[in-house]
Structure 1
Amino acid sequence: MQTRALIVDDEAPAREELRHLLREMGEVPGQGPVRVVGEATDGEEALLLLDSLDYGLVFLDISMPGLSGLEIAARLAERPHRPKVIFTTAYPEHAVEAFDLAAADYLVKPFDADRLRRAVLRALGAAETGGSAESPAEASREAATEERPSSGRDRLVRIPVQRDGRTVLLPGDSIVFASAERGYSQIRLAEESVLVSFSLNELERRLAGHFFRAHRSHLVNLRYVRELRHTAGGTLVLVMNDRARSRVEVSRRHVRALRQRLGV
């Protein structure tokens, strides 16, 4: 058993890197290995290949000569038996459009082997345990991760962010908070927000130190907490010290640990 994959990207180095990561990934539980059996450099070539063979996975770049990856995905969405689509792109701003087209995942270059594997597992409905990618077991593992408070010394951390085709290394200390966004994360800085391909769990592991998982969907930098407020419904909300004075909800089970970390 195997999953046949098509890579659609106009840049040869990007195709080669993806082939390498897929070879190194090994077998998908219950699905076998992912085999790259087709490559296309533009949209027209991709559609020809898709008409000639049934693929289980299609890795789609967005910006290409002729048809864009979004246009290809829109055409695939009209087919009764369409492959799962994973976008691989340097442009994070198209993520909402991609998920509107029922994309399985959206990877922002550069991504690593772990992020690719999670995307493939999600697309194929698999998990490391052999169950569903959105199974209760996975939710339980994530919840367990949330319950462990961040610890360790402050250290130099950089988060890669794509901007205008460049990879910018974002200092971890500049992050006010981060929110989960369908497998990737929205990072809030003092003046702006940026999208990164890391999950919130990955960011939590990378940042540690003075970061705290205030909620399943939020990771906050404790150095930027300005105020603690209680809503009429009894929920604790953090007012952050960014330009927008953003508000971040704290889950009830994390309130006590948060107060201990803040010393209040």
Structure 2
Amino acid sequence: MRARCLIVDDEAPARAELRYLLSQFDHVQVVGEATNGEEALTLLRSLDYDIVLLDVRMPGGTGLEVASELRTSAKPPRVIFTTAYPDYAVEAFDLEAADYLVKPFDEDRLGRALARALSAGADDDAEAPAERSSHRSMHRPTHGATHRPPEPLGRIPVQQGDRTVLVDDSAVIYATAARGYSYLQLAGERVLVSFTLNDLERRLAGHFFRVHRSHLVNLDHVRELIPDFKGALVLVMGDHQRTRIEVSRRKARELRSMLGM
């Protein structure tokens, strides 16, 4: 069966462009369009959709408000945000969006977003290993089984609208996993990047340490190490919130050895 898709955008040219791009995918069928958040919710209550392509800034309710309302549904559709504004990516993924596309994007990028949306379970609250492998392959070219992993690059590209900003690794305090993506915590802000934590571990230099499956920390920004009675450690980081990150017992032993403790 073809996946039923709803397009939600207040601009007619944007809806036409999305409809054209979606026509390139035989497994997706556009069965509705809405021009604002109120119309979108009306359509979503009248028919079961599989995917919603959702703009952020619209009259009659923002896309974030629509996505938040959908989370109360028994079987919510998968949401792909399509917007000219990169600023809301963190909020979008907090609402469990399948993807966040910043305009302009092409057929290939949309295809990857559709694949993510359709492969994710309706009640997906944790990414399966097979999905993580699939997500990594979307962001990294494959050159065969004997391909040697690249040397650490020390710079992370961050998409900001139609620009790509290169963030130096020294500015990254820690990174957090986010279902095939990652958040980078900088001194005063958190940004989303299209790399898994495994990808970042390969790209960044040796002063980054994987404390457990969900966090990669920059040891240069660790302010305190607090032991607990179970043999683990808690790191106090150098961001404005002085975030505390727990180190697993196995990793705590490795970290103590690295630091000569």
What's the TM-score, normalizing by structure 2?
0.65
Q: Using a 3 Å threshold, how does the CA distance of structure 1 residues 214 and 42 change in structure 2: closer, same or farther?
A: same
Report matched runs for 1:95-244 at 5 Å.
95=92, 99=95, 105=98, 107=100, 109=102, 112=109, 114=112, 117-123=115-121, 134=126, 137-138=129-130, 153-155=151-153, 157-162=155-160, 169-173=165-169, 174-181=171-178, 184-190=181-187, 192-196=188-192, 198=194, 200-201=196-197, 204=200, 207-210=203-206, 211-244=208-241
Aligned length: 236
Residues 225, 19 of structure 1: alpha-carbon distance in 2 compared, 3 angstrom cutoff = farther
Aligned to 1:117, the other structure's residue is in SS state helix
1:252 to 2:246 alignment: no
- 2:143 is matched with which residue? none
Using the TM superposition, give the Cα deviation of residue 171 of structure 1 relative to its aligned residue in structure 2, in angstroms: 0.6
C-alpha deviation, 1:176, in angstroms: 0.8
Following the alignment from structure 1 to structure 2, what is the Cα–Cα distance between the partners of residues 117 and 250?
34
Cα RMSD of the aligned pairs, angstroms, is: 4.3
| Counterpart position of 1:2 | 2
**8 A Cα contact 2:6 2:32, kept in partner:** yes
* Residue of structure 2 equivalent to 1:69: 63
Identity over aligned pairs, percent: 42
- 1:225 & 1:72 partners in 2: Cα distance? 39
Match of 2:54 in 1: 60
Q: Distance in 1 between matches of 2:174 and 2:127?
A: 27
Q: AA paired with 1:230?
A: P
Give the secondary-structure state (helix, strand or coil) at the position aligned to 1:238.
strand
Distance 1:258 1:107 in 2: 35
Q: Partner of 1:255: helix, strand, or coil?
A: helix
Letter in 2 for 1:189: L
Measured in 2, the distance between the counterparts of 1:202 and 1:235 equals 22
Structure 1 residue 64 displacement after superposition: 0.7
Q: Is the 8 A contact 1:183 1:199 kept in 2?
A: yes
2:40 to 41, 46, 50: 46
Q: Give the Cα–Cα distance (whole angstroms) in 1 for the partners of residues 50 and 230 of structure 2.
A: 47
| Partners of 1:54 and 1:255 in 2: CA distance | 48
Shift of 1:116: 5.3
SS of structure 1 residue aligned to 2:200: helix
Describe the shift of the 1:64–1:83 C-alpha distance in structure 2 as closer, same or farther (beyond 3 A).
same
When the two structures are superposed, what TM-score results if normalisation uses the length of structure 1? 0.64
One-letter amino acid matched to 1:201: L
Task: Quote the Cα distance in structure 2 between the aligned partners of 1:205 and 1:22.
Answer: 38
User: In 2, distance between residues paired with 1:58 and 1:182?
Assistant: 19
More contact order relative to length (CA 8 Å, sep ≥ 6): 1
**Which consecutive residues of structure 1, in runs of 5 or more, have no partner in the other structure?**
27-32, 126-131, 143-150
Find the aligned partners of 2:255 and 2:20 in 1 and give their Cα distance: 44
Amino acid at match of 1:62: V
**1:120 partner amino acid:** L
The separation in 2 between residues aligned to 1:215 and 1:240, in whole angstroms, is 15
